[in-house]
Amino acid sequence: MREALTSLHFLFATTRDVLHRVVTETTAPLTLPGIAAALINLHLCPFLTTWHPLLQEHEATRPP
């Protein structure tokens, strides 16, 4: 579970970084950045916000 959430968080950070670079490098309207922004802001961010604290709580309270 930890590896899955870490991978999704990495995807979120990488996508956001690429979007910031693409937006500053072009003036043409692009479809892919819009789709990527919607993906991370509407789906990935809420998913991570829900499950990351729950995983941390589980990890803190589980037996060794």
Going residue by residue through the chain, which has 64 residues, state the pLDDT in tens, using 9 for 90 and above.
Answer: 888 889 998 988 898 888 888 777 766 666 777 778 888 889 988 998 999 899 999 999 998 7
Residue 11's nearest CA partner among 52, 59, 55, 45 is 45
What mean pLDDT is reported for the chain? 85
Q: What is the pLDDT of residue 58?
A: 92
Domains identified in the chain, total number: 1
Domain holding 41, by residue range, is 2-61
In the block, tokens 């802001």 appear at: 41
Q: What is the pLDDT of residue 50?
A: 93
How many Å apart are CA 51 and CA 56, to the nearest integer?
A: 9
Q: What is the pLDDT of residue 36?
A: 83
pTM, whole model, 2 decimals?
A: 0.61
